[in-house]
Copies of this chain bind each other. A is one copy, B any other.
Amino acid sequence: MLGAISHQGLQTLRKTCLGYNLEAMLRNLDGILQDECQINKGRPVLIAVSGGPDSLCIADFMYLKGYPIVIAHFDHQLRQDSAADAAFVRNFAYERGIQFKLGEGDVKTRIKQTSESIEEAARNARYLYLFDAAEEIGAQAIVVGHTANDQVETFLMHLLRGSGLDGLGGMPYRWLPNAWHNAIPLVRPLLGVWREEITEYCRERDLRAVVDSTNQDSAYFRNRIRLELVPYLETFNPAARKLIWQTAQVLLGDSDLITGMVEDAWMKCLLATGEDYIAINAPIAKELPLGMQRQIIRKAIDQLRPGLRDVTFEAVNHAVDQLQSSKPYAEVDLISGLKLISEPGKLWVAGWETELPIGDWPQVLQDRALLETGGEVTLGSGWQISANKIAEGDLPPLSLDMQDDNQVWLDLERIDQPLVVRPRKDGDRFKPFGMEGHSQKLSDFMINQKIPRRARNRWPLVCSGDTIVWVPGYRPAHSFELTQTTKEAVALTLRRIDEHNL
């Protein structure tokens, strides 16, 4: 299809569809610098100049307009000719009397030390340098040369790699990259300018840019997007580029809107947050629209794994399913060393190895504590178990519902005193009151009763000798209950003494 249009014809078509025009572009650009990028002439501006046409164009333009610019070049030292590029940019600055700063980075060592790809490592090393340099000179902003083409290519890359609104929303003109610096913004005045306009500008101004040989290498994904996909899409609609650019702009605006909403919903859903964990209020989160549930999960992941890319649709949807699920207890993997843990009223997002707070549950602190009749045992989180002797005349009526989970009565004659409070151990079995047949494994009882996994190991067990007579908070054991012949009883009570001792 592309073959059917001459190169000249395509250029004309593009010019028509993109509506580009050097003069109009130059008229706009100063306005963009002031209004969108919020740059003034009062304080230094650091311009990152690679030596390519984009950065050269904006450096030259801002120089002509009298902005107090400082040029910074970062030599990634990845190519043989990289020092020549640095010299070229130095010379460009020198000829114009512009202050020049050079950064050098051993990107190769960085790749070995981190798990970053070559592009990521280069980018991170460069920005690390640029923000240092910007701070040093008291810059109001760092200017980078991203163009309208970059905007379109980034959109397509994100689309083909899978991305929601966050990724498809275009780069903004002005952006405070908190991960790098919380006061120096990164600004992109050329975001609305097409590469054709920059080429024309460079020709008019007789600027000879360095040629980055890797730009033509189709082995790089971005280069294939630029060299192959974008021209191919233009055979479907000559205005494709412009339409995609506009789409990215619109989605950026929509993404900003949603960010504000997410913030509100997040504050309502957040129950707790700590070292590598977040607890989400499941009943509230479940009632949010589906799109917002996805956003909440994304935000939780982002808080625990900042900057994690490739948060997949599957992972997020999986988490939403878990949130929606009626299972009160479940634990599944999420993404990037994170897991999801459902508990009644909560969805935890947490690192695999994270110790979640035990929270409100009673936990036995000692390995073995004696519970004297008339005495008590102190548990964790402000809980306490007490044992009180009840004389015959004060016995509760037998018809009394024994299922009050925090207070039970046992026949004193049937138990060995003193009672023992201890955590579980292998082989523990339990036969709850009211259950027919054999006893069951204590672990099965705990699963059935939905005692949270991480609270099971230190859940207090009240024992007569080695026999469990009560799992506090649940029902007592069979065959220790009061009967017609009971003379004396012991009342066991689980209660919270200090609710604030959490």
Contacts and interface: CB of A to CB of B under 8 A. Distances in A.
A74 to B, nearest CB: 29
Interface in A270-318: 289-292, 294-295, 313
Contact of A165 (B233, B239, B250, B313): B250
A89 B2 CA distance: 41
A160 B243 contact: yes
A291 B162 contact: no
Interface in A221-244: 221, 224-225, 229, 232-233, 236-237, 239-240, 242-244
A256 B159 contact: no
B240 A160 contact: yes
Given A159-B243, A246-B313, A261 B257 contact: yes
Most chain B CB within a 10 A radius of its CB, from A163, A221, A232, A290: A290
Contacts of A290: 253, 256
A254 B291 CA distance: 5
Range class of the A interface residue count:
35 or more
Nearest to A19: B314
A451 interface: no
Q: Binding site of A, secondary structure by majority: helix, strand, loop or mixed? A: helix
A18 interface: no
Interface string A322-361: 0000000000000000000000000000000000000000
Given A243-B160, A258-B258, A291 B253 contact: yes
B239 A291 contact: no
Contact of A161 (B243, B250, B260, B295): B243
A13 interface: no
Given A233-B160, A250-B165, A257 B258 contact: yes
Nearest to A162: B243
Interface of A: 159-165, 168, 221, 224-225, 229, 232-233, 236-237, 239-240, 242-244, 246-247, 249-258, 260-261, 289-292, 294-295, 313
8 contacts: A159-B247, A162-B246, A162-B247, A164-B247, A229-B236, A257-B258, A257-B261, A258-B258
